[in-house]
């Protein structure tokens, strides 16, 4: 069994419901909640202007720096999107546990076209990369209990 890190990492292909469950889980566990996407958007307020004036290399360097900072948060539950995780795998690999909230394909938003198209491939990757895969169907309290039970089994 691995040693628990100072934080928990949560990833889901359904960002809306995954984020909601992650926030509820953070509150239940009395942990700070951090959304990588929201922090990145806040820190890179006008990423279009940064890209135009400084270039893609600088923008990528800033993103990596922000992700490294987030990975060092203590007593936190970190929610990350698939794409941000893919771009920063090495940064987050030491966090334990990494939990994949596995929603059925039909629960993915119509706006989430890329995740819908690549569902099987992404689902398979996250199931292997994460320490826990928890099948959930919504952001309900019963699914929150299910996640907590799975964490207790693993820890």
If you average pLDDT over residues 14-24, what whole number do you get? 91
The number of distinct structural domains making up the chain is 1
Return d(Cα 8, Cα 146) in angstroms, integer.
16
CA angle 108, 37, 93 (to 5 degrees): 90
Q: Is the pLDDT of residue 149 over 90?
A: no
Task: Establish if 1 belongs to a structural domain.
Answer: no
- Please write the tens of the pLDDT for every residue from 76-85: 999 999 999 9
Query: How confident is the model at residue 70, as a pLDDT?
Result: 95
Task: Establish if 2 belongs to a structural domain.
Answer: no
Task: Establish if 61 belongs to a structural domain.
Answer: yes
Domain range for 74 is 7-154
Indicate which CATH number applies to the domain containing 148: 3.40.50.300
The beta strands (E) that lie in the chain are given as: 7-12, 32-35, 76-80, 98-102, 132-135
Q: What percent of the chain has pLDDT over 90?
A: 50
Task: Establish if 13 belongs to a structural domain.
Answer: yes
pTM > 0.75 = yes
Task: Establish if 145 belongs to a structural domain.
Answer: yes
Q: 74 or 119: which carries more pLDDT confidence?
A: 74
Task: Establish if 105 belongs to a structural domain.
Answer: yes
If you average pLDDT over residues 89-95, what whole number do you get? 92
Task: Establish if 141 belongs to a structural domain.
Answer: yes
Count Cβ atoms within 10 A of the Cβ of residue 55 and give its class: 0-12 exposed, 13-18 middle, 19 or more buried. exposed
- Please write the tens of the pLDDT for every residue from 102-147: 988 777 766 666 667 788 899 999 999 999 999 988 667 788 888 8
Task: Establish if 115 belongs to a structural domain.
Answer: yes
């Amino acid at each position: 069994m691995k040693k628990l890190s100072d934080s928990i990492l949560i990833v889901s292909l359904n960002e809306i419901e995954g984020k909601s469950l992650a926030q509820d889980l953070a509150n239940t566990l009395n942990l700070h909640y951090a959304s990588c996407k929201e922090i990145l958007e806040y820190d890179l307020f006008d990423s279009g202007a940064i890209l135009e004036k400084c270039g893609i290399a600088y923008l990528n360097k800033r993103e990596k720096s922000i992700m490294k900072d987030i990975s060092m948060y203590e007593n936190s539950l970190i929610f990350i999107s698939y794409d941000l995780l893919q771009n920063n795998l090495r940064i987050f690999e030491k966090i334990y546990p990494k939990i994949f909230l596995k929603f059925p394909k039909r629960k993915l938003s119509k706006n989430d076209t890329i995740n819908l198209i690549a569902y099987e491939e992404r689902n398979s990757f996250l199931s292997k990369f994460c320490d826990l895969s928890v099948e959930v169907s919504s952001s309900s309290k019963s699914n929150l209990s299910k996640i907590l039970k799975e964490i207790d089994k693993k820890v």
